[in-house]
A and B are shown apart, each in its own frame.
Chain A
């Protein structure tokens, strides 16, 4: 038991941390998904948040200001994405791609302009994300205590956001209308409301959560790596489907992806596998999960 858990507890502990960006992006993406729009831009929004949060945190020396600016930039990019999609009536999936390309372009251009490199940028003066301190008796719960506590505050903020989003989606007029927009936009029009407003709100919410997700990626590393998001936005998109388009379902799906990545990080140290294969693993597992889910759904539908 003890020899077993000494390996598995850190594995799961790390998974809880690693799943957080997936979960954040997934929750944001859920709002656009429910409003009837496939949000491919999660990846780019996250990248914008990742870049600007660390740059502003380094420039001001203030972690929270940095994260706030990162979230704001991500929301601004979401506003651009939403405005072009809704006001200029462009194809949401193409403008989503545009957002991803734009984010990966301008982060490199700005990094080159500011730091004269297109590679990894390390920052010296980034404070560590504060860890949430919990009462001792909670920390001492066997196994669960070690897994659930001792993470940074973004992890817990994310859990709160999952709860909040469930309340907003299922228990408020806003949530009802947001879902109505996705199911049948005409009913929203018939109520004298604008479906586009709800869609824009969904996009801005995804900008907010993706900004936070990106901030967590760079601040934890105290560095910016080009394309640091490395497909997380896409994996989050799959998590939305696997999670059956519910906040808690997305949390479960994100945990599975977190566990996978945590395990592959562990495998990288323990077994000799080429690092490219390790990097490819999350994509392969995501495709596999997606297809298994489709097979399962298919077999249920045809039964």
Chain B
């Protein structure tokens, strides 16, 4: 009985999500009809473009990599009922930290530099997010608002470093000096930018799943997420689980940014990670904060992103139509009524 109930619960969730996604795709089509002078070609470019050759396909998969990390970062926090809205700044800072680490040791062996860069990325972003968790624990200062505000400030400070002290005068874009060649991650799907960070993303999803569901700390974190007072009564040190989820969340965001630099850009470019933080939230919500569900959810967002890029190149609409579609996924992804409609219809 219980099994059947949860099975129909899963089904209504899946159907509700499908409705949400279909609605957003429908919105994309509508927008293209409204905005484009050649709608058929633009729609084709949007939906089919990302699959049209190895380059586009690989790049789409490559965009999913940081989204998996940010999605995991948000899932860890949300599952513990801690709200990290500073993902944008944390990804960006992680990318910059990885770049600076690589620039500091230009002659180090490849693996050493990569490892150091990722440690730097994770540490810096964990610290930024950890601040908000700490203030919440110590003085009950709302972590949601403080993490957003800190992230906004951090992003501006990163802008300064990218366009100021580390700016490479030899290129036309606002970007730091490139990192040394040996720190670049191995490409696995040429000519696209897809690289071994894709395997790391899958491994991260599995590790986070194991941590959350199979370890003691993960269990306590989830319990605090369900009911903090009850957890306190049960002897869990709840204050610890206001900070730890933020630190983990920040570290995952930082890794996402660091891997973008090592794998894709080989430098920190102004604004290179913008959108990854917000979309990570949507990815986690679609995945219902399940670390393994983050994988397909990130692919969906990467598809929207790739579609919009393709529609911009092969059609005549601007890239931001993706953000409109994404915002409607946001609007509907937690809409309870949508899932109830599906549930009722099944019962009838």
Do the beta carbons of A101 and B149 come within 8 Å of each other?
no
Q: Once bound together, how far apart are the Cα atoms of A119 and B232, in whole Å?
A: 51
Do the beta carbons of B148 and A104 come within 8 Å of each other?
no
Contacts known (A88-B332, A90-B331); A294 close to B156, Cβ less than 8 A: no
Contacts known (A88-B336, A274-B164); A290 close to B149, Cβ less than 8 A: yes
Do the beta carbons of A108 and B144 come within 8 Å of each other?
no
Question: Considering only CB atoms, which chain B residue lies closest to A284 in the complex?
Answer: B153
Is A112 interfacial (CB-CB < 8 Å)? yes
Report B320 CB to chain A, min CB distance, Å.
Answer: 4
Is B324 interfacial (CB-CB < 8 Å)? yes
Is B46 interfacial (CB-CB < 8 Å)? no
Question: Considering only CB atoms, which chain B residue lies closest to A230 in the complex?
Answer: B152
Do the beta carbons of B140 and A234 come within 8 Å of each other?
no
Report A227 CB to chain B, min CB distance, Å.
Answer: 11
Q: Once bound together, how far apart are the Cα atoms of A238 and B337, in whole Å?
A: 31
Is A138 interfacial (CB-CB < 8 Å)? no
Q: Once bound together, how far apart are the Cα atoms of A108 and B31, in whole Å?
A: 13
Do the beta carbons of B330 and A101 come within 8 Å of each other?
yes
**5 interchain pairs (CB within 8 A)?**
A84-B331, A95-B331, A95-B334, A109-B31, A294-B139
Q: Once bound together, how far apart are the Cα atoms of A241 and B138, in whole Å?
A: 18
Partner of B330, one of A95, A118, A277, A297: A95
Do the beta carbons of B145 and A109 come within 8 Å of each other?
no
Partner of A234, one of B149, B328, B333, B337: B149
Q: Once bound together, how far apart are the Cα atoms of A241 and B150, in whole Å?
A: 17
**Which B residues lie within 8 Å of A284 (CB)?**
149, 153
Which A-B residue pairs are the 10 nearest by beta carbons? A98-B330, A105-B323, A294-B141, A102-B327, A88-B335, A276-B160, A283-B153, A89-B336, A91-B334, A101-B327
**Which A residues lie within 8 Å of B153 (CB)?**
280, 283-284, 287
Partner of B149, one of A97, A109, A279, A286: A286
Contacts A87-B337, A90-B335, A101-B327 given; 8 further ones with Cβ under 8 A?
A84-B331, A88-B336, A97-B85, A102-B327, A283-B150, A291-B146, A294-B139, A298-B140
Partner of B156, one of A90, A277, A297: A277
* Binary interface encoding of chain B residues 108-120 relative to chain A, with 1 for a CB under 8 A from any of its CBs, else 0: 0000000000000
Is B300 interfacial (CB-CB < 8 Å)? no
**Which A residues lie within 8 Å of B285 (CB)?**
94
List residues of A (92-140) whose CB comes within 8 Å of B's CBs.
93-95, 97-99, 101-102, 104-106, 108-109, 112-113, 118
Q: Give me the interface of A with B, judged by CB distance under 8 Å.
A: 80, 84, 87-91, 93-95, 97-99, 101-102, 104-106, 108-109, 112-113, 118, 231, 234-235, 237-238, 241, 274, 276-277, 279-280, 283-284, 286-287, 290-291, 293-295, 297-298
Interface size on B, residues (CB 8 A): 45
Do the beta carbons of A287 and B318 come within 8 Å of each other?
no
Q: Once bound together, how far apart are the Cα atoms of A118 and B320, in whole Å?
A: 10
Is B204 interfacial (CB-CB < 8 Å)? no
Report A78 CB to chain B, min CB distance, Å.
Answer: 13
Query: Interface majority SS on B: helix, strand, loop or mixed?
Result: helix
The listed residue with most B CB atoms (<10 A of its CB), out of A80, A95, A118, is A95
**Which B residues lie within 8 Å of A113 (CB)?**
35, 318
Question: Considering only CB atoms, which chain A residue lies closest to B136 in the complex?
Answer: A294
Is B264 interfacial (CB-CB < 8 Å)? no
Is B142 interfacial (CB-CB < 8 Å)? yes
Do the beta carbons of A109 and B326 come within 8 Å of each other?
no
**Which A residues lie within 8 Å of B150 (CB)?**
283, 287
Question: Considering only CB atoms, which chain A residue lies closest to B132 in the complex?
Answer: A287
Report A17 CB to chain B, min CB distance, Å.
Answer: 23
* Binary interface encoding of chain B residues 313-348 relative to chain A, with 1 for a CB under 8 A from any of its CBs, else 0: 000011011011011101111111110000000000
Report A162 CB to chain B, min CB distance, Å.
Answer: 22
Do the beta carbons of B159 and A276 come within 8 Å of each other?
yes
Is B82 interfacial (CB-CB < 8 Å)? no
Partner of A280, one of B138, B145, B156, B332: B156
Q: Once bound together, how far apart are the Cα atoms of A270 and B160, in whole Å?
A: 19
**Which A residues lie within 8 Å of B85 (CB)?**
97
Do the beta carbons of A290 and B328 come within 8 Å of each other?
no
Do the beta carbons of A112 and B320 come within 8 Å of each other?
yes
**Which B residues lie within 8 Å of A276 (CB)?**
156-157, 159-160, 163-164
Is B278 interfacial (CB-CB < 8 Å)? yes
Report B285 CB to chain A, min CB distance, Å.
Answer: 7
Report A281 CB to chain B, min CB distance, Å.
Answer: 8
